[in-house]
Amino acid sequence: MTGGSFTSLGTNEANAGKLTGHAYIYGPKRLHLPILTIGFLGIQLFWSVEQSYGSPYLLSLGLSKSTMAMVFVAGPLSGLIVQPLIGVLADGCTSRWGRRRPYMMGGVLICISAMLLLGWTKQVGAWFTSKQSLVVWLGVLSIYFIDFSINAVMAVDRALLVDTLPASQQPAANAWAAAMFSLGSVIGFFIGNLDLPSLLPFLGHAELEVFSIIVSFLLLAGHVSMALLVKEKVLLTTAPGPKGPLIRTFIQQFKTIVTNIRTLPRVIKQICIIQFFTWISWFPLLFYTTLYIGDLHKREYYTSLLLTESIGPSTLGLINSTVVSRQDDTDTLEAESTRLGSRALFFSSILALSTNVLLPFFIIKTRRKSARHLNAGYDSTRVRNETDGYTSTRTAAGKLWASWSIPDAIKVHLASLWAVSHVVFAGCMLATFFTSSVKGATVLITVTGFSWAIVQWAPFALLGEAILTEPTSGAGDPGVIILTDTRSFNAGVEEVVFEDPDPDSDSDAESDRKDRESSRARLMGNPDAGVSRADISGNRSGLDEEEEEGEEGEDAVLVGRRRSDLEIGETGEGVTTEDLSAKAGIILGIHNIFVVIPQFLVTGVSSIIFAVFDKDTRDSSSANNGVGAASALNAAGSNSVVYVFRIGGIAALIAFVLSWRLAKELRHR
């Protein structure tokens, strides 16, 4: 999954027209979250097919590596355009089935059609002509339809999640969605590692033919279940307001983004810049891993044949008739190469899933770094109450949890872990200088699973916290005077000490607290704004709830209290600025730009590198007589993918330096 989106944080019903009915999920309550997120598993299965089989299959159709690289611009392009477009269209849908499900099922049907076309391209092309050019065009077209339609389905699935659940369940729902994505990767790459034609010969004679049918069935089954078991509200009327073409809406959106880029808080700017270099490094690995492993396998295969047959440079022409003259040998070699690449991705996905499960327990929680504020009215060993914020006792469950918790001495800051992930990834990419075997390359790809798990999690968690806690762009204005004591998290106590007695002060403080919780809930409803630890069971203990409430205030102490939280009185006196979380959608859109643009850049660079280092040595006999001598030599020496990987390694080192600086800044706060 590559392209991002300008994801909506939720539905503002005041601006969305008149909705009727109730949103609910059929079935036992404990199954509500799995039912609502099962579609993400099928989505990731489709991405797994494209990542493991897309590149080698396009090459098998006759595309050069340079041209093949340009085909995969479909990923970032679709993420940039399709998701916000579908979001706008679905918001105004007045179908009696709801706003999301019609687009969801329509997108699923297009996905399935495109996937089956990709798997059976040669057969479909043969219905119309014997020319190979039509087959190539059908293959490219299927990739574009898959990317554009699967991004549409993903956008609608995300919106359905936000529409159906209350804000309090959004973090747990997004944790389930992340789990489904991880599980989909493991299942998808595991299936791709199998010899499917031998196991399921009645579904097809080629690996991709069988694979396309399996993932299409799973995608359809998951989304049919969602459509039947999830009930939406129905939009009766659209919101009043000026109407205009969609293009005008998007132009205005981009203008807003450009305007706000200049006023981003420092931490958010740093995160975006780090993401730019991160995706320069990661995009090639996502789509060229199978190609990289396959090239190494072919090199080993052809090298062993040359040594076995004792064929020197002057007699390499004999390869056509004595070694690799049969097309069946070529097809078998290609299938084996693809399976080896899929196996490496499978190992990587297992490590990524394990990392996602275990690493959150080793992250320093903000509350634990608040011990220096003991004199400000709370203690890390106390639990929250309504009078002074904390009591002096802890429940038995809390003591038991504390005894089982990971010692703080071995915990790290999330930003530091993000930096470590970059240096690990860079090491793997630069280690390609010393790796020439399939086994060695498989180990390198497997290790990158550790970094991939953190890349999917850390930047969005840090971005979410920054949106909630960073001051707005004018916070550094020397003319602004903050009139509250930011050394203490307990704003309610400060109001009692520094303000005149007011019978409404308690209710005002409670209202402010609820506003802050509402802002956090809206942000956490966004799939890209995760938290370091999330409960995916949907049930939280009272102790956890108490700790969360405490941590909300403490985060403001450690990272920077929002100035909107420091407003004084109801008369407008003191500091009054716009809450940064009100611009969360714009900020996430800016973040998306920094994720997508490097994917376009690295696609162009990859195409140039492939054109320079991979000469087209196919001859006219290769179509009928196997790979040919020239192709055998080219396969034995082809390693152009590693140059792209090494450029990614350099970009990862830059990301490491920048993220380490960010980590030092956040730790000192």
| pLDDT tens profile 175-231 | 788 889 889 999 999 998 888 999 999 998 888 999 999 999 999 999 999 999 998
Report the relative pairing of strands 230-231 and 234-237 from DSSP bridges: unpaired
pLDDT value, residue 13: 43
Positive or negative torsion for Cα 513, 552, 589, 111: negative
545: pLDDT confidence band, cut at 50, 70 and 90? very low
Q: Are 4 and 81 in contact (CB under 8 A)?
A: no
- Check whether 128 has a pLDDT greater than 90: no
Q: Tell me the two tokens of residue 354.
A: 């394990």
> Which segment of 291-300, 317-326, 535-544 scores lowest on mean pLDDT?
535-544
Residue (of 219, 41, 50, 202) closest to 119 by Cα position: 50
391: pLDDT confidence band, cut at 50, 70 and 90? very low
pLDDT value, residue 116: 95
CATH among 1.10.760.10, 1.20.1250.20, 3.40.50.300, 1.10.275.10 for 263-369+406-475+584-669: 1.20.1250.20
Max CA separation in the chain (angstroms): 99
- Check whether 174 has a pLDDT greater than 80: no
Domains of the chain by residue range: 57-239, 263-369+406-475+584-669, 476-583
Give 559-581 as a 3 state SS string: HCCCHHHHCCCCCCCCCCCCCHH
Residue (of 238, 243, 166, 231) closest to 18 by Cα position: 238
Residues 452-500 have pLDDT tens digits of 989 888 888 888 778 777 665 544 444 333 333 333 434 444 333 334 4
Give the total residue count for the chain. 669
537: pLDDT confidence band, cut at 50, 70 and 90? very low
Measure the CA–CA gap between 147 and 111, rounded to whole angstroms: 8
Give 206-256 as a 3 state SS string: CHHHHHHHHHHHHHHHHHHHHHHHEECCEEEECCCCCCCCHHHHHHHHHHH
Backbone angles phi, psi at 601, to 5 degrees: -65, -45
The chain-wide mean pLDDT, for the chain, equals: 73
Average pLDDT for 572-600: 68
Q: Tell me the two tokens of residue 174.
A: 């997004």
pLDDT value, residue 188: 92
- Check whether 635 has a pLDDT greater than 80: no
Please tell me which of 17-26, 575-584, 647-656 the model is most confident about, judged by mean pLDDT.
647-656
Amino acid, single-letter form, for residue 482: I
pTM greater than 0.75: no
- Check whether 557 has a pLDDT greater than 80: no
- Measure CA of the first residue to CA of the last residue in the chain; give whole Å: 34
282: pLDDT confidence band, cut at 50, 70 and 90? very high
- Check whether 274 has a pLDDT greater than 90: yes
Q: What's the distance, CA 121 to chain centroid? A: 29
Measure the CA–CA gap between 451 and 607, rounded to whole angstroms: 25
Q: Are 293 and 442 in contact (CB under 8 A)?
A: yes
Write the DSSP symbol of residue 20: E
Beta carbons within 10 angstroms of residue 623's beta carbon: 12
The Cβ-side half-sphere exposure at 148, using a 13 Å CA radius, reads: 16
- Check whether 278 has a pLDDT greater than 50: yes
Write the DSSP symbol of residue 406: P
- How many Å is the Cα radius of gyration of the chain? 27
Q: Are 76 and 3 in contact (CB under 8 A)?
A: yes
H or E, element range at 25: strand 24-25
pLDDT value, residue 373: 40
Q: What percent of the chain has pLDDT over 70?
A: 64
Residues 487-497 have pLDDT tens digits of 343 444 433 33
Measure the CA–CA gap between 121 and 138, rounded to whole angstroms: 6
Q: Are 215 and 50 in contact (CB under 8 A)?
A: no
Q: Tell me the two tokens of residue 288.
A: 């060229």
Q: Are 536 and 33 in contact (CB under 8 A)?
A: yes
Measure the CA–CA gap between 100 and 87, rounded to whole angstroms: 9
CATH superfamily placement of domain 57-239 = MFS general substrate transporter like domains (1.20.1250.20)
Measure the CA–CA gap between 234 and 80, rounded to whole angstroms: 28
pLDDT value, residue 515: 57
> Which segment of 156-170, 297-311, 341-355 scores lowest on mean pLDDT?
297-311
Backbone angles phi, psi at 533, to 5 degrees: -135, 125
- Check whether 118 has a pLDDT greater than 50: yes
114: pLDDT confidence band, cut at 50, 70 and 90? very high
Residue 560 or residue 583, greater confidence: 583
- Check whether 32 has a pLDDT greater than 60: yes
Residue (of 291, 279, 287, 289) closest to 599 by Cα position: 279
pLDDT value, residue 245: 61
Measure the CA–CA gap between 303 and 311, rounded to whole angstroms: 10
Tell me the H-state helices in 51-206: 55-60, 65-71, 74-91, 101-119, 121-126, 132-164, 170-192, 196-199
Residue (of 106, 216, 95) closest to 153 by Cα position: 106
Q: Are 171 and 535 in contact (CB under 8 A)?
A: yes
Q: Buried b vs exposed e over 529-557: b needs ≥16 C-beta within 10 Å?
A: bbbbebebebeeeebeebbbebbbbbbbb
CA dist 524 to 10, 98, 164, 228, 234, Å? 10, 24, 15, 27, 24
CA dist 501 to 377, 494, 506, 594, Å? 20, 12, 10, 49
